[in-house]
Structure 1
Amino acid sequence: MRSKSLLTIAGVFAGTGVALGAFAAHGLKSLLAPYLMEVFETGVQYQFIHALAILACGVLLQFSMGDKAQKYFFIAAICFIIGVLCFSGSLYALALTGIKWFGPVTPIGGLFFMMGWGLFSYAALNMKEVNQ
């Protein structure tokens, strides 16, 4: 169940990342100042990168690699999800509304991204070799 949920979320994040990128390129370019356009595009890039990271976690959970590794791949994926919501979400909100209050939320998302990558690495170190 965990893997199925993560793969679904990865697909939603990747798909909306593509849609938001297209929206930015074709719909927002004439409406936003260049700086705000960059802010929005940064959100899209990080969303897409971390959709792939969530996808990797979901795929890795399909393998029998030991409980410890599976636990930390799952927690890493949760960190990536929270990171996308905080980091990319705050950048989208900032770019579209201009409300500066969203700015301080962005580094919180960045911290979740960093924790996710650390946990991903820790999980990888704890993988048990699969007999072939």
Structure 2
Amino acid sequence: MAGKKLVVTGAVMGGLAVALGAYGAHGLRAHVGPQELAWWQTGVQYHMWHALAVLALGLSGQAWGRLPGWLFVLGAAIFSGTLYAMALGAPRWLGAITPVGGVLMIAGWAALAWKAGRVGKLGA
């Protein structure tokens, strides 16, 4: 299967997103303020949506899905990771790095649109 690594990565990302979401809902709530909890929830949402996208691209088995998939992985790691870190007390300057993850996720969606649109022309 062309996308086995993406399937495994997407599944791990999804499981981690569920675990982190549960931690945010049950363990973190008593220790942080509303702003930190909002950062955490935003991180979990983007983490899970992109885990599902990575999983779908991996399951498609299409070679053209690799670039968008790995852009999603890297983007979600940076975007959600910096939000998780700030929610746990890391310096707020990490917020300046968060948009890099967002740009990578957007690039993943753009690459997906471009590559999927080219499939009919390329015949592969």
Task: Indicate if the aligned counterparts of 2:78 and 2:97 stay in contact, CA closer than 8 A.
Answer: yes
Question: 2-side partners of 1:17 and 1:2: how far apart?
Answer: 24
Q: Secondary structure at the match of 1:32?
A: coil
What amino acid maps onto 1:93 in structure 2?
Answer: A
> Which of 109, 112, 116 does residue 101 from structure 2 map onto?
109
Per the TM alignment, residue 29 of structure 1 is displaced from its structure 2 partner at its CA by 0.6
> Which of 53, 67, 85 does residue 93 from structure 1 map onto?
85
TM-score (norm 1): 0.86
Per the TM alignment, residue 84 of structure 1 is displaced from its structure 2 partner at its CA by 1.0
What stretches of structure 2 of length at least 5 have no aligned partner? none
Among all aligned residue pairs of Structure 1 and Structure 2, give the percentage whose two residues are the same amino acid.
38
CA offsets 1:21-75 (integer angstroms, 9 cap, x no match): 0000000111110011000110000000000110121122x25xxxxxx23x211
Residue equivalent to 2:54: 54
Question: 2-side partners of 1:124 and 1:102: how far apart?
Answer: 34
Deviates more, 1:120-129 or 1:76-85: 120-129
CA offsets 1:86-126 (integer angstroms, 9 cap, x no match): 10000000110141121111100000010000011112112
Runs of 4+ that moved beyond 3 A: none
Question: 2-side partners of 1:52 and 1:2: how far apart?
Answer: 17
TM-score (norm 2): 0.91
Q: Secondary structure at the match of 2:3?
A: helix
Residue equivalent to 2:66: 74
Task: Indicate if the aligned counterparts of 2:69 and 2:108 stay in contact, CA closer than 8 A.
Answer: yes
Q: Secondary structure at the match of 2:88?
A: helix
Give the count of matched residue pairs.
121
Question: 2-side partners of 1:7 and 1:82: how far apart?
Answer: 15
Question: 1-side partners of 2:8 and 2:2: how far apart?
Answer: 10
What stretches of structure 1 of length at least 5 have no aligned partner? 64-69
